[in-house]
Amino acid sequence: MTEPRNRILWQVGWLSSALILAAYGLFSPLSLLAVNAPRGASPVKFFVIAGGAFLLACALVAILARRMTLHRATGIGAVVLFVFFSWTALRALGEEVSASPVVAGVLVPVVVLAVLVWASVRFGDAQVFRVVVMTMGVALVATPLPSLVSWYAADAISLAVPELEPSDASGPHPDVYFVILDGYGRADVLEETYGYSNKDFLDEMIDHGFVVPEAATSNYSMTAASVASTLAMSYLVDPGVVPDHPLRLALYQIIRGGNPVVASLTDLGYQNVHIESGWDGSRCGPNVDICYPAGFLDEASWTLLNRTPLSAPLEQWFGHAFAQNGLRALDDLTRVAQVGSETPRFVFAHVLLPHPPLNVDGRCRVRPEPQPGGGAVGARFLLDTPAWEDRKAGYVEQIQCVNTKILRFLDDLGDDSVVFITGDHGPDGYGQVAVPPGEWTDADRFERFGVFSAYRLPAGCEQVKQDVDLINGMRLLVGCATGEELEPLPPRHLIFPTPDGDPYPTTEVELVTLNGG
Amino acid sequence: MHLILAYIDPGAGSLLIQLLIGGLAGLAALVKFRWNRIKTAFSRKPQEESNG
> Is the minimum CB–CB distance between A489 and chain B shorter than 8 Å?
no
Among candidates A468, A465, A464, A470, which has minimal Cα distance to A424? A470
Residues 424-453 of A with CB under 8 A from B: 431, 433-435
Please state whether beta strands A453-456 and A418-422 pair in parallel, antiparallel, or not at all (unpaired): antiparallel
Distance from the Cα of A140 to chain B's closest Cα (Å) equals: 5
Q: Which of A357, A381, A500 sits opposite B9 (nearest CB)?
A: A500
Kindly state whether B7 is in contact with chain A, defined as any CB-CB distance less than 8 angstroms: yes
Q: Which residue of B has its CA nearest to A29?
A: B15
* φ, ψ dihedrals at A375, nearest 5°: -90, -10
Position A435, amino acid = V
Q: Which residue, among A290, A95, A219, A220, has the nearest Cα to A488 in the 3D structure?
A: A219
pLDDT of residue A347: 98
Nearest to A325 by CA among A308, A304, A349: A349
Residue B3 in contact with partner chain A when CB distance is under 8 A = yes
Confidence at residue B9, expressed as pLDDT on a 0 to 100 scale = 79
In the structure, what pLDDT confidence band is assigned to residue B1 with cuts at 50, 70 and 90?
very low
- Looking at residue A327, what is its pLDDT? 97
Which residue positions in chain A have pLDDT lower than 70? Answer: 1-2, 372-373, 375-378, 501, 513-517
Judged by a CB distance cut-off of 8 A, whether residue A131 touches chain B is yes
Count Cβ neighbours within 10 Å for each residue of A411-449 and write b for 16 or more, e otherwise: eebeeebbbbbbbbbbbbbbbbbbbebeebeebbbbbbb
The answer to whether A289 touches A273, Cβ cutoff 8 Å, is yes
Amino acid identity of A14? W
Strand A418-422 and strand A494-495: the pairing is unpaired
Residue A350: strand pairing partners: A180
Whole-number Å distance between alpha carbons of A55 and A32: 20
Q: Kindly identify which residue of chain B lies nearest to residue A138, measuring between CA atoms.
A: B22
Return the pLDDT at A378. 67
* Chains A & B: contacts with CB separation below 8 Å: 119
Q: Which residues on A lie below 8 Å from B30 (Cβ)? A: 128, 131-132
Q: Which residues on chain A are in Cβ contact (under 8 Å) with B29?
A: 131-132, 134-136
Chain A stretch 2-41, residues whose beta carbon is closer than 8 A to a beta carbon of chain B: 27-28, 31-32, 34-36, 39-41
Contact A36 B11 (CB under 8 A): yes
Dihedrals φ, ψ of A462, to 5°?
-60, 145
Q: What is the pLDDT of residue A516?
A: 44
Show Cβ contacts of residue A77 under 8 Å, excluding neighbours closer than 6 positions: A17, A20, A21, A24, A57, A58, A60, A61, A64
- Residue A378 to residue B1, Cβ atoms within 8 A: yes
Q: What pLDDT is attached to residue A501? A: 66
List the beta strands (DSSP E) in chain B: none
Maximum Cα–Cα distance across chain A: 90
Q: What is the DSSP letter of A366?
A: B
Per residue in A66-86, pLDDT (tens digit) is 999 999 999 999 999 999 999
What is the per-residue pLDDT across B10-41, written as a single tens digit (0 to 9) for each?
Answer: 787 888 889 899 999 999 998 988 877 777 77
Domains of chain A (ranges, CATH numbers): 3-152 (no CATH), 177-496 (3.40.720.10)
> What local confidence, expressed as pLDDT, does residue A376 receive?
65
Q: What is the DSSP string of A15-63?
A: HHHHHHHHHHHHHHHHHHHHHHGGGT--HHHHHHHHHHHHHHHHHHHHH
Looking at the complex, report in whole angstroms how far the Cα of residue A298 sits from the nearest Cα belonging to chain B: 10
Cβ contact A271:A345 at 8 Å: yes
Cβ–Cβ under 8 Å, residues A149 and B32: no
Confidence at residue B45, expressed as pLDDT on a 0 to 100 scale = 55
Is omega for the bond preceding A357 within 30 degrees of 0, making it cis? yes
- Chosen for mutation from B2, B14, B16, B18 (greatest number of chain A CBs closer than 10 Å) is B18
